[in-house]
Structure 1
Amino acid sequence: MKKHAKYLVLAVTLGIMALIFFFSSQPGETSYQLSGAVADTVQHSKVSAITPSWFSTQNFNANIRKWAHVYIYCALGVSMAVTVHLWTRRIALWQQGLLAAALCTLYAMSDEIHQYFVPARAMLLTDVGIDGFGFLPCIAVTCIIIWLLQRRKAEQ
């Protein structure tokens, strides 16, 4: 199983990247309707009772879109960190973390460039920053967990 784990993790990473590409390929109107449906569901559910007050109801749809960026790029950050770790064992863990962050940044930038060519979508540098808010902490936490597991294994 260990031999095939790196291929499985790579497949998950590529799957998340494909999902991001799919969502970015949606025309602006379709994307807006999807996030609007999610916003309506959240506003009319018990989740709205625990929604922070700073999560403006005036811009609820925009907030849903931004947090979707954070969450999906968090997933990409975790899977990218594990993928890089499994495929580049010869470099230090901190270098693996930097490589994972660089790859996620490049993907976020390419995603924004891709959106420039999609009808009614925009290329926003701020979205790359929001994506970074998702993947950077997740890569850091993943690297810390890997380090702790390596330390524990070395002590045994």
Structure 2
Amino acid sequence: MKKEKVLRDNSHRWLLLARFCLIVLILVWMYVIFRFSAQNGTNSHEASDHVVDLLQRIVYVMTGKDVSVILATGSYRMYIEFAVRKCAHMFIYFVLSINVMLLLFTYKRMPMLKRMFISLLVCFLYACTDEFHQRFSAGRGASFRDVLIDTSGAAFGLIAALIIFCVIFTIYTTHQQRKIAKYNASLQ
């Protein structure tokens, strides 16, 4: 009886530690998003330019084709930079939603749909506040379209978190079934 209580207390401590770490991770990631939003328009544009240049180099290394000539002659660079910026929006909220879902997975009695709704709501509300914050950065503006892009990145993060959860749950249940089978075999 005493051993069961000790095990229960230890697992509860680990659960609290995991929740604390996940909350800290979420807050750190929100701070990262906040810092990106605080960049002025020039710095944000330069960061996007660096990514586009990196993509050009990758294309050159992989294909031997220099796409910088094509990008310089048309407005292609502007379209690629736009896509890079929107993918960055999606990615940061993809990560945020996975972190929020991981935290919500620590609450065993919470239904999965409720977890998904809370995670998406947290990401949507933070995207709204993020866009509002961007209004105060020089050369930047707020856009509800960006909120929707952020939220769609969060939705993809939910899907990824569910896949991760299913894989971990399958591994865990398989391990438990093997332990039970081994225990039953030892009784015979």
Q: TM-score, structure 2 length as denominator?
A: 0.70
- 1:76 matches 2:96: yes
Could you tell me how far 1:140 is from its partner in structure 2?
2.7
1:2 maps to a residue whose letter is: W
State the match for 1:62 in structure 2.
82
More helix by share: 2
Could you tell me how far 1:31 is from its partner in structure 2?
0.7
Contact kept, 8 Å, 1:82 with 1:142, in 2: the verdict is: yes
State the match for 1:127 in structure 2.
146
Segment drifting more, 3-12 vs 121-130: 3-12
Could you tell me how far 1:141 is from its partner in structure 2?
3.1
Q: Equivalents in 2 of 1:81, 1:25: separation in Å?
A: 26
- 1:2 matches 2:2: no
Please, which runs of 5 or more residues in structure 1 have no aligned partner?
Answer: 51-55
- 1:29 matches 2:49: no
- 1:39 matches 2:56: no
Segment drifting more, 57-66 vs 110-119: 57-66
Q: Equivalents in 1 of 2:61, 2:129: separation in Å?
A: 34
2:14 maps to a residue whose letter is: K
Q: Equivalents in 2 of 1:41, 1:149: separation in Å?
A: 35
User: Aligned pair in 2 of structure 1 residues 22, 47: CA closer, same or farther (>3 Å)?
Assistant: farther
Per-residue CA deviation, residues 38-93 of structure 1 (Å, 9 max, x unaligned), is 1112112237858xxxxx5442211111111111111111111111222x433212
State the match for 1:13 in structure 2.
26
Q: Which has the higher contact order (CA 8 A, sep 6+)?
A: 1
2:146 maps to a residue whose letter is: D
Could you tell me how far 1:149 is from its partner in structure 2?
4.0
Could you tell me how far 1:150 is from its partner in structure 2?
4.2
2:58 maps to a residue whose letter is: S
1:33 maps to a residue whose letter is: E
1:18 maps to a residue whose letter is: Y
State the match for 1:103 in structure 2.
122
Please, which runs of 5 or more residues in structure 2 have no aligned partner?
Answer: 1-12, 64-75, 178-188
State the match for 2:105 in structure 1.
85
Of structures 1 and 2, the larger Rg is shown by 2
How do 1:109-148 residues align onto structure 2 when only pairs under 5 Å count?
109-147=128-166
Segment drifting more, 22-31 vs 138-147: 138-147
